[in-house]
Amino acid sequence: MTATNPFPVTNPGADVGEQLAYLMGETGGVVESSVTTFKLKVFHTRAFPWDDVFKHLLYRGFKVAVTSHKADLFVEAQK
């Protein structure tokens, strides 16, 4: 029996960190990245592409959480 991936990813071998950096542009940045963990800092909350970033992470099987530290917002994703 073959295992199927329920997440609709067009290129599963692509570098997720580079794609996230491209999506966020100047509205956010990658603070921490590894194969199973990402921590993104939001620089501009109104211009940040929330939906695109969340879809990108959720479709690849990450659990996504939004946290705050003082006045800064962070998007944390873990597999």
pLDDT tens figures, 57-77: 998 889 999 999 999 999 999
Q: How many structural domains compose the chain?
A: 1
Does the residue 62 lie in any domain? yes
Q: What is the pLDDT of residue 4?
A: 62
Does the residue 7 lie in any domain? no
The secondary structure of 24-78 as a DSSP string is HGGGEEEEEE-SSEEEEEES-TTTS-HHHHHHHHHTTT-EEEEEEETTEEEEEEE
* Confidence (pTM): 0.81
Q: pLDDT tens for residues 6-57?
A: 556 667 677 888 899 999 999 999 999 888 999 999 999 999 999 999 999 9
Domain residues for 47?
A: 16-78
Does the residue 3 lie in any domain? no
pLDDT at 3 over 80: no
Q: Output the six-digit token pair for 61.
A: 């099987």
